[in-house]
Amino acid sequence: MGVKHFNLPDPGEGLVEAEIVTWKVKPGDTVKTNDIVVEIETAKSLVELPIPWEGKIIELLVAEGTTVDVGQPIVSVEVEGAGDQAEPSASPEAEGGAAEGEERVANLVGYGPSASSGKRRRRKGPAESAGAAPGRAAEGVQAVMGQAGGPVAGNAPAQAAAQESPRAPEPVAATGAGPTSRAGAAPGAGVGNGGRPLAKPPVRKYAKDRGVDLAQVSASAGDGIITRADIDAFLGGGGAEAPAAAGEPADGGGGTAYAPPVFSRSGEREVRIPIKGVRKMTAQAMVGSAFSAPHVTEFITVDVTRTMKLVDRLGDDRDFRDVRVSPLLIVAKALCLAVHRNPGINATWDEAAGEIVQKNYVNLGIAAATPRGLIVPNIKDADQMSLRQLADAMADLVSTARAGRTQPAAQSGGTITITNVGVFGVDNGTPIINPGESAILCFGAIRKMPWVVGNKVKPRWVTQLSVAFDHRLVDGDLGSRFLADVAAVLEDPSKALVWA
């Protein structure tokens, strides 16, 4: 029997780090090859990682909520027939996985550190920064995550250290428990030795997402660790004490005290949100697109009454009875038809090669708003699908995105995108082109409006479409013809029979 360290694998797509979201195992668990052991979040998606060996979990080396580099050990496993590996902190070679001269065996595709991981300096955790031994730091991680039967007695400094992010280590007091200097925090009310409230990483994230300052939350448990239930009680008013005396006159008079404006339940005037994950990737991509591709946006207003009638008929059709039919489905089909009539809109500007790469297939991107931010997964070869196949693909895309399970491969290789701002009641917009593409279609809200039909004003279903395109390879003539063709199909869906 020997111990192996499972290193964070390279998630691809040029990503070099990931955040540990949820451990699916705990020390002492037995795992088989390809069992899911941890869920990580990259800049593009949530990913579940399988273990490449069969054995027994010895130790979780990284706490939930911690960001780690590719190639860094995250869990140790006792594997039969394996020789003991050096501890991660024993040598620079051990930090990258296999030691120098040791043969690396690829059990699963993509596992093992990247070529540069052996040169990357491993980040020190707060427990190591404070002089704690690696074994004690691991004990703290284990205790904080609640996977060793509760906190380890007498190891409060290591417990507090394990809760800190390795990106911003803070000194941890080594003295015993006692009154802290934090205002309003009584001993045993969820405040650790370092003056920081005690809470597990998922609970800290839960509080941050709701704008709650943990310093204002009292722990209900005897161990002083704040739980989600304590945060819920605080938000519900059960755990908050109103600072009535803060605004009263010093002499106790009956004058009306000034109450400063409060915009969040926590009372904080500002909230700082780390730029990471999908938000960071989106920002970089949008800035790159906006300042590299000269954008042009055109608009058109369309009578989509016939499309709305078609949507109603399809909803009652036997072939579409078990799938949701929406106007977006018809827009997607209309776009695919318009691309076939105007193939130059479905292209890429290759600066390095000095070429325009025209795609003879449509990988249709659908911009999706998720709790993690905006992502753009795409439907491969959407132009080759029937209307029912396209409906199924869109339903699967949306459900996967909402669950946060969209894989990086599903977000790469797109050729043209639709963004549906109409679901928010917005009429239209000027979208930014998805990087690597040449155009994006914006679909606005559908409203009943007065419309001239045969010299008479009638109520009709009307929407606005806009298309933003890269003027380096799409001129006004091509962009206008493409947008007019999409509008023509929405105005009269029977044109699809003629153009198909």
Q: Cα–Cα distance between 471 and 11 in angstroms, integer?
A: 34
3-state secondary structure at position 34: coil
Contact in structure between 461 and 446 (CB atoms under 8 Å): yes
Among 5, 295, 340, 471, the one annotated catalytic: 471
Sole residue written with tokens 């869906």: 493
Sole residue written with tokens 């070529």: 115
Q: Cα–Cα distance between 338 and 474 in angstroms, integer?
A: 14
- The DSSP call for residue 172 is -
DSSP element (H, E) containing 462: strand 456-470
Question: Do the bridges between strand 347-350 and strand 368-370 make them parallel or antiparallel, or are there none, so unpaired?
Answer: unpaired
Residue 471 bears catalytic tag: yes
Which pairs with CB-CB distance under 8 Å and at least 24 residues apart come from 109-114?
Answer: 110/9, 110/10, 110/11, 110/12, 111/7, 111/9, 111/52, 112/7, 112/9, 112/10, 112/71, 113/7, 113/10, 113/70, 113/71, 113/72, 114/10, 114/16, 114/70, 114/71
Closest to 330 in 3D by CA, of 363, 305, 347 = 305
Q: Which residues are catalytic?
A: 471
